[in-house]
């Protein structure tokens, strides 16, 4: 019985002092996704499927997020994804479908706003940069 109490006391001491050995460091600064350098992207999805949204820039395709089916979704396009000279394309990939859509080349600069209307027939979708 005495050994049982001694074992419990040792465990409590070890658990209580474990945090003393952890090195504390200052939190890393986190980039603000709503910074003034980001470009807002409003996706109005009239399609019944969720659509994965990508940006094509500098020969790469980077996923931004998912626009819910028959919903409006706001995303932020970080300035680092604006291609050389601000040239980008938006690429939409409906989840569960072989259908795809891609915009023409858009020239976008920080301070502007993009609105992408995805229609139920994706070939009729439109995009505007304001």
Q: Indicate the average pLDDT of the chain.
A: 84
Q: Say what the pLDDT of residue 37 is.
A: 83
**Domains in the chain, number:** 1
In a domain, 65, yes or no: yes
Q: How far apart are CA 112 and CA 66, in angstroms?
A: 21
Render pLDDT for 118-127 as a digit per residue (tens, 0 to 9). Answer: 999 999 999 9
Instruction: Look at residues 46, 24, 53 and name the one whose alpha carbon lies nearest to residue 114.
Output: 53
Q: What range defines the domain where residue 118 resides? A: 38-129
Name residues of the chain where pLDDT drops below 50.
Answer: 21-33
What CATH number corresponds to the domain at position 49? 2.60.40
Render pLDDT for 5-20 as a digit per residue (tens, 0 to 9). Answer: 666 766 666 556 555 5
Q: What is the pTM of this model?
A: 0.72
Name beta bridge partners: 51. Answer: 67, 94
């Amino acid at each position: 019985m005495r050994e049982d109490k001694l074992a419990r006391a040792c465990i409590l001491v070890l658990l209580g002092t474990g945090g003393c050995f952890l090195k504390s460091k200052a939190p890393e600064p986190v980039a603000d996704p709503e910074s003034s350098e980001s470009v807002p992207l409003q996706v109005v999805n009239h399609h019944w499927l969720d659509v994965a949204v990508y940006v094509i820039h500098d020969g790469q395709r980077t996923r931004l997020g998912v626009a819910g089916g028959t919903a409006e979704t706001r995303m932020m396009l970080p300035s680092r994804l604006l291609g050389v000279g601000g040239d980008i394309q938006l690429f939409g990939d409906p989840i569960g479908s072989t259908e795809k859509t891609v915009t023409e080349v858009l020239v976008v600069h920080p301070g502007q706003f993009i609105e992408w209307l995805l229609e139920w027939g994706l070939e009729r979708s439109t995009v505007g940069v304001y």
